[in-house]
């Protein structure tokens, strides 16, 4: 298995970085974010960097170390004199462009996608519509708003029939498989839709996809002559349940990641190609994990996560590690990419490639 190759490395002045790791948040993924943030903090410390631990409470209040008075920030004033921010936040508020916009106003470099790409990718309906325009093959779906279901429920149910059964009903803005219901009969749909709308103003209904679940890590590298984006070797998700739910994702032993995935070389190349295409089309930066269904030679895009989990059981770090980039080095490169982007050095489009 050939490793990823590319730029990266130490800070230009050779010194350690002062990194503000931001975790928690008011979304339902608060606990997952804290676990991810703890792993990032440990990895940065192991790499010789200084870490400022910022916890966003469930009430949305920011506190250093999660204690004491709320943080006070000013536009253009940075964040706790940090060199770079690492917002390890999942779901609404953390991945929807909200925090990214705040960090922009503070004038601090930050890891991950910007405001627009974050907002697009967290909204599953908008993301899939953009991928459809770009011609990326994906799971069939329908996006719904609450008013349409309220005004004409029978029409909505009829419009979902081409998806077949079973289908998955999902809140459009949630991650980590939260709020998802598998529906196996037409009679179950109204209750499933009503339940999803209790969580979100927008809902997506997706057809059941055949084949295996495959994930691919994308990493943007800080290179001297512009921008280089690489795709990891695809990994196959193996789990014992009916589908890859929250419990399988975050319970130790709930899933197994096989690298390389047990798919053909042609399908593996297609996964990497589409992962890079999706990353580029939505204007992502830094990193992403792109999820697929693979059935023989057929590859269908499922979704793109702009801030994938960094917990001990999370897939993204394992994919990059298996592709030649150890965890501490991965965090270093992400921070360096954020710094380079913020300095607005010449940014050629660069080559996006899979290895």
Query: For 226-283, what is each residue's pLDDT tens digit?
Result: 679 999 999 999 977 665 555 655 566 668 999 999 999 999 999 999 999 999 999 9
Is the pLDDT at 55 greater than 70? The verdict is yes
Q: What DSSP element (H or E) covers 155?
A: helix 153-159
CB 227 within 8 A of CB 350: yes
Res. 53 pLDDT band, cuts 50 70 90: very high
303 has catalytic annotation: yes
Q: What is the mean pLDDT of the chain?
A: 88
**pLDDT given for residue 331 in this prediction:** 96
DSSP 6-66: ----S-TTSPPPEEEEEEE-SSTTHHHHHHHHHHHHHHHHHTT-EEEEEEE-TTS-EEETT
Of all residues in the chain, the percent with pLDDT exceeding 70 is 86
CATH class name, domain 140-207: alpha beta
Pairing of strands 84-87, 18-24: parallel
176 has catalytic annotation: yes
Number of other CB atoms surrounding residue 81 within 10 Å: 10
Among the listed residues 270, 291, 317, 323, the single catalytic one is 291
305 has catalytic annotation: yes
50 has catalytic annotation: no
**pLDDT given for residue 287 in this prediction:** 98
Domain ranges of the chain: 18-111, 140-207, 210-354
**pLDDT given for residue 1 in this prediction:** 37
Q: What is the pTM of this model?
A: 0.88
Among the listed residues 112, 217, 309, 317, the single catalytic one is 309
Which backbone phi and psi does 215 adopt, to 5 degrees?
Answer: -125, 150
Which backbone phi and psi does 150 adopt, to 5 degrees?
Answer: -70, -40
Query: What topology is assigned to 18-111 in CATH?
Result: Rossmann fold (3.40.50)
302 has catalytic annotation: no
Render pLDDT for 94-138 as a digit per residue (tens, 0 to 9).
999 999 999 999 999 999 999 999 999 999 999 999 999 999 999
Among the listed residues 303, 314, 316, 333, the single catalytic one is 303
DSSP 168-204: EEEETT--TTTT-EEE-SGGGHHHHHHHHHTT-SEEE
83 has catalytic annotation: no
**pLDDT given for residue 4 in this prediction:** 45
Res. 350 pLDDT band, cuts 50 70 90: very low
CB 231 within 8 A of CB 351: no
Is the pLDDT at 176 greater than 60? The verdict is no
**How far apart are the C-alpha atoms of 292 and 219, rounded to whole Å?**
17
Please give the sequence-ordered ranges of beta strands (E in DSSP) within the chain, or none if there are none: 18-24, 50-56, 62-64, 84-87, 141-145, 167-171, 181-183, 202-207, 212-223, 226-231, 235-239, 255-258, 287-295, 298-305, 351-354
Q: Tell whether omega for the bond before 220 is within 30 degrees of 0, i.e. cis.
A: no
Which backbone phi and psi does 288 adopt, to 5 degrees?
Answer: -170, 155
**pLDDT given for residue 343 in this prediction:** 86
Reduced to 3 states (helix: H, G, I; strand: E, B; else coil), residue 223 is strand
| Separation of first and last alpha carbons in the chain | 9
Is the pLDDT at 346 greater than 90? The verdict is no
289 has catalytic annotation: yes
Render pLDDT for 272-290 as a digit per residue (tens, 0 to 9).
999 999 999 999 999 999 9
CB 232 within 8 A of CB 219: yes
Q: Which two tokens stand for residue 43?
A: 């990895």
**pLDDT given for residue 46 in this prediction:** 94
Homologous superfamily of 210-354: ATP-grasp fold, B domain (3.30.470.20)
């Amino acid at each position: 298995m050939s490793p990823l190759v590319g730029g990266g490395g130490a800070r230009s002045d050779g010194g350690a970085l002062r990194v503000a790791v931001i975790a928690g948040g008011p979304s339902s993924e608060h606990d997952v974010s804290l676990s991810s943030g703890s792993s990032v903090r440990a990895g940065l410390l192991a790499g010789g960097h200084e870490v400022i631990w910022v916890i966003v409470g469930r009430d949305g209040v920011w506190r250093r170390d999660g204690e004491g008075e709320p943080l006070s920030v000013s536009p253009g004033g940075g964040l706790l004199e940090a060199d770079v921010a690492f917002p390890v936040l999942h779901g609404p508020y953390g991945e929807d462009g909200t925090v990214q916009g705040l960090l922009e106003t503070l004038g601090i470099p930050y890891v991950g996608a910007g405001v627009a790409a974050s907002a697009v990718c967290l909204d599953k309906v908008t993301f899939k519509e953009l991928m459809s325009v770009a011609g990326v093959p994906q799971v069939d779906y329908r996006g719904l708003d609450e008013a349409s279901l309220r005004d004409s429920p029978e029409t909505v149910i009829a419009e979902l029939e081409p998806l077949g059964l079973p289908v998955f009903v999902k809140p459009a803005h949630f991650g980590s498989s939260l709020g998802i219901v598998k529906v196996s009969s037409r009679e179950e749909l109204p209750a499933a839709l009503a339940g999803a709308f209790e969580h979100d103003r927008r809902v997506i209904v997706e057809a059941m996809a055949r084949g295996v679940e495959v994930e691919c890590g994308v990493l943007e590298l800080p290179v001297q002559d512009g921008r280089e984006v690489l795709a990891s070797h695809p990994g196959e998700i193996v789990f014992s349940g009916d589908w890859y739910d929250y419990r399988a994702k975050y319970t130790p032993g709930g899933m197994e990641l096989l690298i390389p995935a047990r798919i053909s070389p042609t399908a593996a190349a297609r996964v990497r190609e589409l992962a890079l295409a999706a990353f580029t089309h939505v204007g992502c930066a830094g990193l992403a994990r792109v999820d697929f269904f693979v059935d023989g030679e057929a590859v269908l895009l499922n979704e793109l996560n702009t801030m994938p989990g960094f917990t001990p059981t999370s897939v993204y770090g394992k994919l990059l590690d298996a592709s030649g980039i150890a965890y501490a080095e991965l965090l270093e490169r992400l921070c360096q990419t954020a710094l380079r982007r913020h300095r607005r050095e010449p940014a050629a489009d660069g080559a996006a490639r899979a290895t």
